[in-house]
């Protein structure tokens, strides 16, 4: 029997028969295969209002000698769909229409449709749509405030409300959900652009707070804008980590690959609000935790690398604390929760 797949060389083929190369007769049949040809695979739709249904047609031509089959289509983002024949006969062209509902998008966007095909030369091909989706009302740079301050300070942050519609926009009322900030607005361009300012309360206790500002407008579609206000109030000595979670670790795998210990090290920063202090000691009730603290002298900011001592590792679930001793009379000990699960 001859092999099913032949390679034509001029007027004849070289075939392997019983391990010996022989020449096949001229005109031996070539295996039929599909071949996809496209003129374009990218489309820039420019700027459109949010909610626009983007439609783009791509031409798919089968230049091969066998039926081209679209086996699967994958979408990179919600709101996209596809209309196309699943099979394209040899020599035929099919129109593929990609649709993208932009109701859930804003600003610069990119969406991809990836076809999986039975074409051996092009088993996968991506079609890309890019553009800018304009919201009726934008909140820039993001629809949220992020305020971070030491206790007793007063920090403010501005965001911008921009009206992209032809009609003027009015802000009719401001309200709050939360007691740890104040909110105010100021027109920049009447009816078009406003600056919204959130200011953290100086009396806010140490802690993290997630509160909201409500902006009422005269816009029928967006009568109320709800904007998140995130506030972090830090003590005079602050650690930028709440806990160290090393997850589940195999002791056997660590021994087989000791270099992986470096990747398990977790780093956090200790900052004193004003002046310098010393970290004078370290302790942990998780017995195999080790630390490296830099600098080793008095400073305002320290880097702490918390890692594992491989010689002390034993299987089990561990939960405890890492304790740093300081010469600060108000904060003589800093505690960080630690948890880890070790398997053989």
Q: Are residues 339 and 241 in the same domain?
A: yes
Q: Are residues 182 and 217 in the same domain?
A: yes
Q: Are residues 157 and 196 in the same domain?
A: yes
DSSP state of 192: T
H or E segment to which residue 254 belongs: helix 251-256
Residue among 216, 146, 215 at smallest CA distance from 181 = 146
Q: Are residues 245 and 323 in the same domain?
A: yes
Q: Which of 92, 119, 134 is the last residue of a domain?
A: 134
Residue among 318, 300, 301 at smallest CA distance from 309 = 318
Q: Are residues 226 and 154 in the same domain?
A: yes
Number of domains in the chain: 4
Q: Which two tokens stand for residue 254?
A: 């660590």
Q: Are residues 127 and 157 in the same domain?
A: no
**234 vs 200: CA distance, rounded Å:** 12
Q: What is the pTM of this model?
A: 0.66
Look up the CATH number of the domain holding residue 275. 2.60.40.10
Cβ partners under 8 Å of residue 261, min gap 6: 254, 307, 308, 310
Q: Are residues 185 and 221 in the same domain?
A: yes
**181 vs 198: CA distance, rounded Å:** 7
Q: Are residues 127 and 153 in the same domain?
A: no
Q: What angle do CA 132, 111, 56 make, to 5 degrees?
A: 80
Residue among 70, 71, 81, 74 at smallest CA distance from 38 = 70
Q: Are residues 14 and 64 in the same domain?
A: no
The reported pLDDT for the residue numbered 31 is: 82
Q: Are residues 230 and 241 in the same domain?
A: no
Q: Which of 90, 113, 134 is the last residue of a domain?
A: 134
Q: Which of 216, 234, 252 is the last residue of a domain?
A: 234
Q: Are residues 173 and 147 in the same domain?
A: yes
Q: Are residues 250 and 325 in the same domain?
A: yes
Tell me the average confidence (pLDDT) per consecutive run of 10 residues in the chain, 344 residues long.
32 33 49 93 93 94 95 94 94 95 90 95 95 91 94 96 93 96 96 97 95 96 94 96 94 90 93 95 93 95 95 94 95 96 95
Residue among 288, 291, 275, 287 at smallest CA distance from 324 = 291
* Domain encompassing residue 125: 36-134
In degrees and rounded to multiples of 5, residue 35 shows phi and psi of: -150, 115
- b or e along 292-324 (b: 16 or more beta carbons within 10 Å of the residue's beta carbon)? ebeeeeebeebebebbbeeeebeeeebebbbeb
The reported pLDDT for the residue numbered 13 is: 33
Q: Which two tokens stand for residue 216?
A: 């009422």
The reported pLDDT for the residue numbered 24 is: 43
């Amino acid at each position: 029997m001859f092999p099913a797949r032949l390679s034509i060389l001029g007027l004849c083929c070289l075939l392997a028969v019983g391990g010996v190369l022989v020449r096949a007769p001229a005109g031996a049949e070539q295996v039929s295969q599909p071949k996809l040809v496209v003129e374009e695979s990218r489309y820039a739709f420019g700027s459109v209002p949010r909610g626009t249904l983007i439609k783009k047609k791509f031409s798919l031509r089968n230049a091969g000698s066998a039926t081209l089959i679209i086996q699967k289509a994958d979408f990179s983002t919600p709101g996209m769909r596809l209309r196309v024949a699943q099979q394209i006969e040899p020599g035929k062209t099919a129109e593929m229409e990609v649709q993208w509902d932009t109701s859930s998008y804003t600003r610069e966007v990119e969406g991809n449709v990836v076809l999986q095909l039975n074409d051996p030369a092009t088993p996968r091909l991506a079609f890309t749509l890019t553009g800018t989706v304009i919201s009726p009302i934008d909140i820039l740079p993001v629809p949220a405030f992020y305020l971070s301050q030491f206790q007793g300070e007063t920090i403010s942050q501005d965001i911008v409300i921009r009206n992209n519609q032809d009609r003027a926009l009015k802000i009719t009322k401001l309200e709050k959900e939360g007691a740890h900030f104040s909110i105010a607005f100021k027109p920049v361009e009447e009816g078009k652009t406003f600056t919204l300012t959130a200011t953290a309360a100086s009396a806010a206790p140490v802690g993290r707070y997630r509160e909201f500002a409500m902006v009422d407008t005269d816009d029928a579609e967006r009568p109320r804008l709800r904007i998140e206000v995130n506030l972090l109030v830090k003590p005079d000595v602050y650690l930028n980590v709440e806990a160290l979670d090393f997850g589940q670790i195999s002791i056997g795998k660590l021994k087989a690959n000791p270099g992986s210990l470096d990747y398990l090290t977790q780093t956090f920063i200790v900052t004193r609000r004003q002046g310098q202090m010393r970290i004078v000691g370290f302790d942990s009730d998780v017995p195999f935790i080790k630390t490296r603290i830099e600098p080793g002298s008095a400073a305002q900011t320290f880097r702490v690398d918390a890692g594992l001592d491989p010689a002390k590792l034993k299987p089990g679930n561990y939960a405890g604390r890492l304790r740093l001793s300081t010469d600060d009379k108000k904060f003589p000990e800093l505690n960080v929760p630690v948890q880890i699960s070790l398997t053989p």
